Amino acid sequence: MSTQAATAAARRSKITPERETELYDAVICLLREGGYDSVTMEGVAARTKCGKATLYRQWGTKPQLVTAALARRRCTVFAGIDTGSLAGDLREAARIAASHRERDAELMEAVAQAFIQHPDLRAALRETVIAPEVAAIDAVVARAVERGEVAADNPAIAFVAPCFMGMLRIERIFEERFAETSTMSGFVDAVLLPALRAER
């Protein structure tokens, strides 16, 4: 463990898991109520009766606190998917995405604009929240290549994770067109699988 990581771990140990959960819950509530701009260290401190200095000592910056709260709430939902086939894996990812749709959509919309406007938040979210999900989808495709289901030189491979994650983001924007919970499954069958199975 690096010196920096050890120091961070030591600082983190001063807050109990229960207290940490309470702080994260306050961040999530503030995000839901007013978006990213409504979250302040002062607001979290006031809501949880926690010293503002404690928050800065523990997380350093608002983006790090928000990212930690989001990461704690959202485990890597696509990790561990392995049905033995490309179609099975992608359909299972679609099923999981649909099951999280209503729970996550409101929260993700609350931070979507901030993701664009605040580079520090964007970098933290990419590393902690987004990268693990992308890696899980990439792993699904990589296993399909190993099994011979997808040609290794298929140019669609690089677009699977971005398209899958992007569809999750815009689904609510087009809710009049994609009102069904099976939208992601339809996307997998109509778009991703044909592209990955196409012969060049």
Question: Each residue of 34-45: pLDDT tens digit?
Answer: 888 889 999 999
- pLDDT for residue 11 is more than 60: no
Confidence (pLDDT) at 1: 38
- Looking at the structure, do residues 83 and 118 belong to the same domain, yes or no? yes
Confidence band, pLDDT 50/70/90 cuts, at residue 2: very low
- Count the domains in the chain: 2
Q: In terms of domains, do 90 and 187 share one?
A: yes
Q: Assign residue 81 a region: left if phi > 0, alpha if psi is -120 to 50, beta otherwise?
A: beta
What's the pTM value of the predicted model, to 2 decimals? Answer: 0.70
| pLDDT(86) > 90 | yes
pLDDT, tens digit (0-9, with 9 covering 90-100), for 154-181: 999 999 999 998 888 777 778 777 766 6
The reply to whether 43 and 91 lie within a common domain is no
Question: Within this chain, do residues 110 and 155 fall inside the same structural domain, yes or no?
Answer: yes
- Listed in sequence order, the DSSP H helices in the chain are 3-12, 17-34, 41-48, 52-59, 62-73, 86-117, 119-125, 131-147, 160-170, 183-187, 193-197
Q: Residue 17 CB: number of other CB atoms within 10 A? A: 8
Q: Are residues 95 and 122 in the same domain?
A: yes
Residue type for position 1: M
The dihedral over CA atoms of 139, 142, 143, 148, expressed in degrees to the nearest 10, equals 160
Q: Tokens 């392995």 correspond to what residue?
A: 82
CATH assignment of the domain containing 45: 1.10.357.10
Assess contact for 115 and 125: CB atoms under 8 A. Answer: yes
> Does residue 169 share a domain with residue 95?
yes
Q: How does pLDDT run across 47-73, given as a tens digit for each residue?
A: 999 999 999 999 999 988 998 888 776
Does 163 share its domain with 137?
yes
By residue range, what is the domain housing residue 180?
A: 75-197
How many C-beta atoms lie closer than 10 Å to residue 81's C-beta? 19
Q: With 80 as the cut, is the pLDDT of residue 113 above it?
A: no
Within 13 Å of residue 185, how many CA atoms lie on the same side as its CB? 11
